[in-house]
Amino acid sequence: MSDVSQAAQIANKWRKKRGSLIMALHEIQDVKGYVDWQDAVDVSLNMGVPLARIYEVLTFYNFFKLEAPGKAVISVCTGTACYLKGNDKVLEKFKSELGINEGESTKDKMFHLQSVRCVGCCGLAPVCVVNGKTYGRMTPEMVPEILAEWRKTFEEE
């Protein structure tokens, strides 16, 4: 088994490709769900990019997570169609039910809540996506049912 971290291996793969820092960070996040401090250090050392530059990228783009998200990542679409059809109220219901704000995870790390600009399902607006499962024609009343569904899923694991 190699002593080289997974982040270092990914950084080495992208090192010689121009403009590849974001691609390397995306790949790390795809693999583990977030990019932590040690990953950033490994990328810095293996790509020859200053750590400050890496953190500029990680903190500028709201896509990147610096901490492990919850098991269920709830993405509430705030694109035009979803917003006009009331997804702002759905987002508020998720916040109140979970006791967290956008970009945060519950203390038990079961749920992570985020708003996204568009999920490409405007015909089903308003839309939420939880771990890749799409929920269309959302109402605030559906939120407790969705949370119960995912809690049950995790209890069965």
101: CB partners within 8 A, 6+ apart: 95, 113
Whether residue 56 is found in the same domain as residue 78: no
| Total domains, the chain | 2
Question: Is the residue at 93 inside a domain?
Answer: yes
Whether residue 84 is found in the same domain as residue 144: yes
Query: Domain containing 107 — which CATH number?
Result: 3.40.30.10
Nearest to 100 by CA among 115, 117, 79: 115
Please give the chain's pLDDT, 157 residues, in tens.
356 789 999 999 998 888 899 999 999 998 888 999 999 999 999 999 999 999 999 999 878 888 888 899 999 999 999 999 999 999 999 999 999 999 899 999 999 999 998 889 999 999 999 999 999 999 999 999 999 999 999 888 7
Q: What is the pTM of this model?
A: 0.74
The boundaries of the domain holding residue 106 are 72-156
Question: Is the residue at 67 inside a domain?
Answer: no
